Amino acid sequence: MTASAPAPFKKRVDGGAMAFRVIVALSYLFLLAPLLIVVVIAFSSNQYLSFPPEGFTLRWFAELPQQAGFMQGLQTSLITASAATLIVLVIGVSAALALDRYDVPGKAALSSFFLSPLLVPTIVIALGLVLVLGPLGLTNTYESIVLGHIGITLPYVVRTTLMSLATSDTSCEEAARVLGANAFTVFRRVTLPIIRPGVIAGGVIAFIVSFDEAVISLFVAESGRPTLPVQILRYVEYSADAAVAALSVVLIVFSAVVVVVVERLMGLKRTLA
Amino acid sequence: MTAVKLTLDRLTKQYRAGLAPAVDRLDMEVEEGHLVALLGPSGCGKTTTLRMVAGLMDPTAGRIVVDGRDITATPVHERGMGMVFQSYALFPHMDVAANVAFGLQMRRVAKSKQTELVRNALDMVKLGHLASRHPKELSGGQQQRVALARALVVEPTLLLLDEPLSNLDAKLRETMRTEIRSIQRRTGATTLFVTHDQDEALDMADRIAVMNGGLIEQFGTPADIYERPRTRFVADFIGRANLFEASVAAASGTGSKGETVYRIDVPGIGTSEAIGEAGLEGSQRTVLVRPHRVQVELGAQPGGLTGTIENVSYTGDALGYSIRLGDVLLQVERHTADGTIPARGEQATVRWAAEDAYVLPEEVRAP
């Protein structure tokens, strides 16, 4: 090896790093391009959904509150997503606790059962729900949507909580018990604070998944309680103006705010890790 | 603090039917204010025993009695014990003061009293200035002390320590040994201490229970355990040991502490003397000689056992020899005196005073 050898070697690494950066940038561009186009259209003065814009305006945003369908859908979505998230947190955290901390019979089977909705196509779940809820007269209600969303969001909460539990030290709970805390106090004062990142991450994901979900909502409550995604679907079917793009921008900002708040409060990286 | 007496009565834990019990019909008495070490290799049942006493694990059979009161069925949180875990188990989301105050809150101690007791407990472990730190901002030794303060602040009936020093570096471990011992003496708390480190047990404990395979091999003072081990396992586990089989011949006198002095015959090597319990004449027994109690002279000398030096290790303070005597490879350790280091292959004669060799009361176990 001559003394000059390290120089070209270093240059090659730089070239590789540059190529890597370009590829990453292109990948991001590819992933974000649809969003960028939607954002641009939301401010476009074109009469119909089209690209490129001929001018810019805020009128689509101003029109949003007048769209009764959107407002009603937003209300339904907020109510159902909140209810589903609360219920799924109670069920999911309890299930994860039982699976991780106790000797439940059929642990492995239960564990796969709780994660199985991730593997079943949502449309199959939706169809099954309609077949069951229809005869019971439960379709087109808040309850039907909440029920369906509990099923599909449960795996996320169980998963994130299990991850937090797996990395926590059970001897903290034992220490609390020895110090005189009963089972409920141990959970409230020790276990829950320790697994909080996983619980919050699960809750946020559950809320976003439920808020965003269209297939189940469409099947079980299309005519009675259309959620916001269902209303958007309908709107695009019958109209072609940019109000829907403006709404999308609002939703993007909303999601981003949630993520930023969680990140600020506890670090999303830590909650997902 | 009023010290309590702990009695374990045929305490047994069997994890699964068909499996050998982890703890097998254990009987033990811990006197008021004593520090008792449960000492043994991993898997000997020492931690299981401690966890049963704490109430973190249910015994399969037997009783745990504190001051005459059977607490076997009392739930953990009503036992009023203090425990220090191997991992310290400090609550990561609470600061030091809140960690220490936790047990007081559970006992509904008045807020102002809590503050005072927490301050006293932290002063005791010399951490008063770190009360508002979080556990992850503390060193291992500091965390250890917080754990100790948290366990002691509630004035526990019984203090349980589960390998509390094993996560500290060697130097800190020595300091903490002394510190734990002095705090334990001051509070007078009856203490059960789990360790696999014999030095720790010998240094700290009033009594040591040497455990093996779920059984107590021997329960006694550190000096008893070291000088008068009852079984080969104990002799081998505590300190360094030369153990060899010998035929115990007739008694030839009485030692200074009343033991019987025997002539022993080591097959193929020669005869010597050793002390032991009365009534061992004519039996086959294991004899223990500690390496540093063996006298050694170079060359073949009369009145001793002569062998060949197989290995010499020089560590500055000490000179270690491995001397081949027939089937026995005798380990000898001497302080270096005049700087002469004998060569391998040289002849050497070893001898020991009768009181430095001990005939184990345990019958020779079939190999």
Phi and psi at residue B190, to the nearest 5°: -65, 130
pLDDT surpasses 50 at B32: yes
Phi and psi at residue B132, to the nearest 5°: -100, 5
Strand B69-70 to B190-195 pairing: unpaired
Cα gap B286→B266, rounded to integer Å: 10
Residue among B85, B93, B106 whose CB faces A180 most closely: B106
Decide if B102 touches A, using CB distance below 8 A: yes
Give the pLDDT score at B106.
93
Give the pLDDT score at B289.
94
Give the pLDDT score at B147.
94
- Chain A hits for B83, CB-CB cut-off 8 Å, are 174-175, 178
Q: At A9, is the pLDDT very low, low, confident or very high (cuts 50, 70, 90)?
A: low
Give the pLDDT score at A1.
41
Cα gap A237→B138, rounded to integer Å: 62
- Rounded to an integer, the average pLDDT of B221-226 is 94
For the residues of B104-122, what is the DSSP string, one character each? HHHTT--HHHHHHHHHHHH
In chain B, whose CA is at the least distance from the CA of A182? B77
Instruction: Provide ipTM, 2 decimals.
Output: 0.84
- Chain B hits for A178, CB-CB cut-off 8 Å, are 54-56, 76-77, 79, 81-83, 160
Give the pLDDT score at A52.
79
Tens digit of each residue's pLDDT (9 = 90 or more) over A244-259:
888 888 888 888 888 8
Tens digit of each residue's pLDDT (9 = 90 or more) over A260-273:
887 777 655 554 44
Decide if A33 touches B, using CB distance below 8 A: no
Cα gap A225→A141, rounded to integer Å: 6
Instruction: Tell me the one-letter amino acid at A154.
Output: L
Decide if A192 touches B, using CB distance below 8 A: no
Nearest of A195, A191, A231, A229 to residue A213 by alpha carbon: A229
Nearest-10 Cα torsion for A175, A180, A186, A188: -130
How many CB atoms sit inside 10 A of residue B127's CB? 21
Tens digit of each residue's pLDDT (9 = 90 or more) over B153-181:
988 889 999 998 888 888 888 888 888 89
- A157-161, A165-169, B131-135 — which is least confidently predicted? A165-169
Interchain CB distance below 8 Å, A178 and B154: no
Output the six-digit token pair for B51. Answer: 């966890």
- Rounded to an integer, the average pLDDT of A141-147 is 86
Q: Is there a contact between A157 and A89 (Cβ–Cβ < 8 Å)?
A: yes
**How far is the CA of A163 from the CAs of A96, A100, A156, A166, in angstroms?**
9, 10, 11, 5
pLDDT surpasses 80 at B365: no
Strand B190-195 to B35-39 pairing: parallel
Interface of B with A in 30-89 (CB under 8 A): 54-56, 76-83, 85-87, 89
Cα gap B186→B163, rounded to integer Å: 21
Give the pLDDT score at B308.
92
Give the pLDDT score at A4.
47
Residue A126 burial by Cβ neighbours in a 10 Å radius (0-12, 13-18, 19+): buried
In chain A, the percentage of residues whose pLDDT exceeds 90 is: 24
How many CB atoms sit inside 10 A of residue B167's CB? 15
Output the six-digit token pair for B332. Answer: 């000898």
In chain B, the percentage of residues whose pLDDT exceeds 90 is: 59
Output the six-digit token pair for A251. Answer: 């939703």
Give first-to-last CA distance, chain B, whole Å. 49
Decide if A176 touches B, using CB distance below 8 A: yes
Cα gap A202→A87, rounded to integer Å: 12
- Rounded to an integer, the average pLDDT of A55-65 is 81
**How far is the CA of A181 from the CAs of A90, B77, B111, B150, B361, in angstroms?**
22, 6, 17, 14, 48
Cα gap B164→B180, rounded to integer Å: 10
pLDDT surpasses 90 at B340: no
In chain B, whose CA is at the least distance from the CA of A169? B89
The DSSP element (H or E) to which A185 belongs, if any, is helix A183-186
Cα gap A252→A179, rounded to integer Å: 48
Q: At B339, is the pLDDT very low, low, confident or very high (cuts 50, 70, 90)?
A: low
pLDDT surpasses 50 at B284: yes
Cα gap B317→B30, rounded to integer Å: 39
Interchain CB distance below 8 Å, A175 and B86: no
**How far is the CA of A229 from the CAs of A70, A130, A152, B78, in angstroms?**
9, 18, 16, 54
The DSSP element (H or E) to which A205 belongs, if any, is helix A192-212
Give the pLDDT score at A2.
45
Q: Is there a contact between B53 and B8 (Cβ–Cβ < 8 Å)?
A: yes
Output the six-digit token pair for B215. Answer: 């059984």
Helix, strand, coil fractions of chain A, as percent rounded to 5: 80, 0, 20
In chain A, the percentage of residues whose pLDDT exceeds 70 is: 92
- Rounded to an integer, the average pLDDT of B98-114 is 93
List the domains of chain A with CATH numbers.
Answer: 7-59 (no CATH), 67-272 (1.10.3720.10)
The string over B328-365, giving b where at least 16 C-beta atoms fall within 10 Å of a residue's C-beta and e elsewhere, is: bebbbbeeeeeeeeeeeeeebbbbbebbbbbbbbbeee
- Chain B hits for A270, CB-CB cut-off 8 Å, are none
Output the six-digit token pair for B196. Answer: 């696999």
- Chain A hits for B85, CB-CB cut-off 8 Å, are 171, 174-175
Tens digit of each residue's pLDDT (9 = 90 or more) over A181-212:
999 999 999 999 999 888 988 998 899 889 88
Output the six-digit token pair for B90. Answer: 């400090």
Cα gap B46→B41, rounded to integer Å: 9
> What predicted TM-score, i.e. pTM, was given to this entire model?
0.80
Q: Sheet holding B328-335: strands in order across?
A: B295-298, B347-351, B305-314, B318-325, B328-335
Q: Where are the strands (E) in B75-214, listed by range?
A: 82-84, 158-162, 190-195, 207-212
Positive or negative, the Cα torsion across B279, B283, B285, B288? positive
Give the pLDDT score at B367.
56
Listed in sequence order, the residues at least 6 apart from A129 whose beta carbon sits closer than 8 Å to its beta carbon are A144, A147, A148, A151, A216, A219, A220
Give first-to-last CA distance, chain A, whole Å. 43
Q: Is there a contact between A192 and A164 (Cβ–Cβ < 8 Å)?
A: no
Which residues make beta-bridge pairs with A150? none
Give the pLDDT score at A259.
80
Distance from CA of A185 to the nearest CA of B (A): 9
Helix, strand, coil fractions of chain B, as percent rounded to 5: 25, 35, 40
Decide if A184 touches B, using CB distance below 8 A: no
Interface test with A, best of B85, B94, B146, B159 (most A CBs within 10 A): B85
Q: At B345, is the pLDDT very low, low, confident or very high (cuts 50, 70, 90)?
A: confident
Tens digit of each residue's pLDDT (9 = 90 or more) over B38-89:
999 988 999 999 999 999 999 999 999 999 899 999 999 999 899 999 999 9
Output the six-digit token pair for B156. Answer: 């526990």
pLDDT surpasses 70 at A239: yes
Strand B158-162 to B190-195 pairing: parallel
Distance from CA of A89 to the nearest CA of B (A): 21
Cα gap A183→B7, rounded to integer Å: 27
Interchain CB distance below 8 Å, B102 and A177: no
Average confidence score pLDDT of chain A? 84
Output the six-digit token pair for B197. Answer: 């480190």
Tens digit of each residue's pLDDT (9 = 90 or more) over B196-216:
999 999 999 999 999 999 999
Residue found under tokens 């059979």: B61
Tens digit of each residue's pLDDT (9 = 90 or more) over B148-157:
999 989 888 8
Could you give the 3-state DSSP secondary structure of residue A268? helix
Interchain CB distance below 8 Å, A194 and B90: no
pLDDT surpasses 50 at A5: no
Give the pLDDT score at A69.
82
Give the pLDDT score at B74.
93
Q: Is there a contact between B81 and B50 (Cβ–Cβ < 8 Å)?
A: no
The DSSP element (H or E) to which B271 belongs, if any, is strand B270-276
pLDDT surpasses 50 at B111: yes
Give the pLDDT score at A140.
82
Residue that wins the pLDDT comparison between B11 and B257 = B11
- Rounded to an integer, the average pLDDT of B333-339 is 76
Q: At A13, is the pLDDT very low, low, confident or very high (cuts 50, 70, 90)?
A: low
- Rounded to an integer, the average pLDDT of B21-50 is 92
Cα gap A179→B104, rounded to integer Å: 8
Task: Output DSSP code: residue B14.
Answer: -
- Chain B hits for A182, CB-CB cut-off 8 Å, are 77
Tens digit of each residue's pLDDT (9 = 90 or more) over A127-141:
998 898 888 887 888
